[in-house]
C-alpha cells in the first residue's frame, strides 16, 4: 500500500515539476494563469501528505536542514557561478550579476522582491527561483510547532494553571490545530495583500502555504479520494471558473497568481483554485496508476523522485536553451499564442533532455548536495 501510494504521489510530483519548468519558459498568458494557479500549492499539498506531526522536533530539524536548507545554499551558489559565467562569456552587453546581493539572499533566504541594506547602500537581493525550499522548511516547522504546542496543553504540568484548566482530547486538539493552521495561512494572505514585502526565509509564502500542508495531511487521514465522478467534474469546473476570475481580476496579460512573490489576487479565488487544482492532479495520478500508458507513468514517477534536483538545476539548461533560441530564431515583433506555445514546448524538451544526464551525475557522485547519503534511481 505504501509503495502504491508513493507511486502516484511521485507521478503527481513529476507532473508538477514539469509544470514548473514549462511555466518558466513564459508560455501564453492563459496557459501561465492555469499553471500558476495550483502548481506550487500542489508541491506543498504533496509534502503535507507524508509529514508526521508527532515527529520529535530535534530529529525533524536535523533532517530538514540537511534535505532543504543545505541544497538551497549549495545550488544557489551553483546558480550564482552559472549566471556569472553567462554574463562573462556573452558577447552582448548584460547587467552585471549582483554578487553581494545574491550572497546575502542565499544567507537570509530573501527572495527577489526584497531590498536589503548592505554597507550603507540599498541593494537588490535575489536568490533565484529556489524560494520554495526555505518556504517549505518554515511552513512545515510552523505546522509542527502549532500541533506540538496544542499537545503540550494536555500535559498535567500545564493544565494545573487555571487558564489552561479545560479538557483537551485528541479530537479537540486536532480541530484546534486545523483552525490555527488556517488562521496562520490567512494571516500570510493578509500580509501579502496589505504589505507585500518579502520576508526572510520566504516566511510570507510559508504562512500562506501552511494550509496546503494541512490539506495534504487530511487527504490521506480522512480518505477524501473516494468521491464519485460527478464530484470531480464539479471540482474541475470550479477550478476553471475561479482561475479565470482571479486572472482577470489581476488585469490579465502577463499578470497571474505567483506564490514566489505572494501575488495572490482575490484571496478566496486563490485558495479555491489552488485546492481544486491540487485535488484534481492527485486524483488523476491515482487513477492513472495501473492503467494505460505505463511508460509515461514511470517517466513521471522518475521526474517526481528527482524533482528536487531538477528544481535546483533547471535554470542552467533553460538559460542555455533561451540563448540558443534567441541566436537562431528571429522572433517576430508580434508573436501569436501558437508561436509562444511552440517556443515553450521546444525549450521544455531541450531543458529536460539536458537535465537527465545532470540528474544522473548529481545522484551518482554528489547525492550529499541533496541531503542524501546514497543515490536514487
Give tens-digit pLDDT for 7-56.
999 999 999 999 999 999 999 999 999 999 999 999 999 999 888 887 78
Q: For residue 299, give its domain range.
A: 2-370
368 three-state secondary structure: helix
Cβ contacts of residue 163 below 8 Å, gap of 6+? Answer: none
270 lies in some domain: yes
Task: Quote the pLDDT of residue 323.
Answer: 86
Task: Quote the pLDDT of residue 101.
Answer: 78
What is d(CA 276, CA 38) in angstroms, rounded to the nearest whole number?
Answer: 8
262 lies in some domain: yes
Cell of 130: 529556489
Tell me the residue ranges of DSSP E strands in the chain: 114-118, 121-125
Return the ∠ at Cα 23 (arms to 271 and 341), rounded to 5°. Answer: 125
What is d(CA 212, CA 41) in angstroms, rounded to the nearest whole number?
Answer: 6
Task: Quote the pLDDT of residue 154.
Answer: 55
Tell me the C-alpha to C-alpha distance, in Å, between residue 330 and each of 30, 90, 320, 349: 24, 18, 17, 20
| pTM of this structure | 0.91
375 lies in some domain: no
Task: Quote the pLDDT of residue 237.
Answer: 96
89 lies in some domain: yes
Q: pLDDT exceeding 90 applies to what percent of the chain?
A: 56
377 lies in some domain: no
Task: Quote the pLDDT of residue 217.
Answer: 87
Domain count, the chain: 1
Query: In which residue are the cell numbers 500570510 written?
Result: 188
Low-confidence ranges of the chain (pLDDT < 70): 1-5, 91-94, 112-129, 151-174, 222-227, 292, 333, 374-377
19 lies in some domain: yes
Taking alpha carbons only, the member of 73, 10, 15, 43 closest to residue 371 is 73
Task: Quote the pLDDT of residue 145.
Answer: 87
376 lies in some domain: no
271 lies in some domain: yes
Task: Quote the pLDDT of residue 91.
Answer: 66
Task: Quote the pLDDT of residue 334.
Answer: 73
Amino acid at each position: 500500500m505504501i509503495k502504491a501510494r508513493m507511486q502516484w504521489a511521485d507521478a503527481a510530483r513529476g507532473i508538477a515539476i514539469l509544470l514548473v519548468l514549462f511555466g518558466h519558459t513564459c508560455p501564453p498568458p492563459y496557459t501561465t494563469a492555469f499553471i500558476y494557479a495550483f502548481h506550487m500549492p500542489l508541491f506543498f499539498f504533496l509534502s503535507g501528505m507524508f509529514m508526521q506531526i508527532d515527529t520529535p522536533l530535534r530529529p525533524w530539524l536535523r533532517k530538514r536542514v540537511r534535505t532543504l536548507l543545505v541544497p538551497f545554499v549549495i545550488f544557489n551558489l551553483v546558480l550564482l557561478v552559472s549566471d556569472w559565467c553567462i554574463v562573462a562569456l556573452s558577447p552582448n552587453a548584460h547587467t552585471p550579476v549582483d554578487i553581494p546581493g545574491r550572497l546575502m539572499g542565499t544567507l537570509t533566504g530573501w527572495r527577489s522582491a526584497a531590498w536589503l541594506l548592505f554597507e550603507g547602500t540599498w541593494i537588490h537581493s535575489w536568490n533565484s527561483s529556489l524560494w520554495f525550499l526555505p518556504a517549505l522548511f518554515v511552513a512545515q516547522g510552523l505546522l509542527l510547532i502549532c500541533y506540538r504546542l496544542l499537545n503540550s496543553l494536555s500535559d498535567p504540568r500545564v493544565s494545573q494553571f487555571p487558564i489552561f484548566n479545560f479538557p483537551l482530547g485528541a479530537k479537540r486538539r486536532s480541530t484546534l490545530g486545523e483552525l490555527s493552521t488556517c488562521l496562520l495561512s490567512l494571516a500570510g494572505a493578509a500580509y501579502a495583500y496589505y504589505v507585500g514585502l518579502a520576508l526572510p526565509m520566504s516566511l510570507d509564502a510559508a504562512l500562506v502555504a501552511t494550509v496546503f500542508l494541512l490539506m495534504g495531511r487530511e487527504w490521506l487521514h480522512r480518505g477524501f479520494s473516494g468521491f464519485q465522478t460527478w464530484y470531480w467534474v464539479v471540482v474541475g469546473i470550479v477550478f476553471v471558473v475561479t482561475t479565470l476570475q482571479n486572472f482577470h481580476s489581476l488585469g490579465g496579460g502577463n499578470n497571474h497568481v505567483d506564490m514566489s512573490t505572494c501575488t495572490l489576487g482575490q484571496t478566496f479565488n486563490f485558495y479555491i483554485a489552488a485546492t481544486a487544482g491540487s485535488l484534481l492532479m492527485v486524483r488523476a495520478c491515482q487513477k492513472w496508476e495501473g492503467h494505460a500508458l505505463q511508460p509515461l507513468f514511470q517517466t513521471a514517477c522518475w521526474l517526481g523522485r528527482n524533482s528536487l534536483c531538477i528544481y535546483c538545476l533547471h535554470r542552467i539548461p533553460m538559460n542555455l536553451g533561451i540563448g540558443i533560441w534567441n541566436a537562431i530564431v528571429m522572433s517576430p515583433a508580434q508573436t501569436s499564442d501558437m508561436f509562444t506555445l511552440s517556443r515553450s514546448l521546444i525549450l521544455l524538451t531541450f531543458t529536460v533532455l539536458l537535465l537527465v544526464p545532470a540528474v544522473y551525475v548529481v545522484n551518482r557522485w554528489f547525492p550529499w548536495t541533496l541531503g542524501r547519503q546514497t543515490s536514487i534511481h
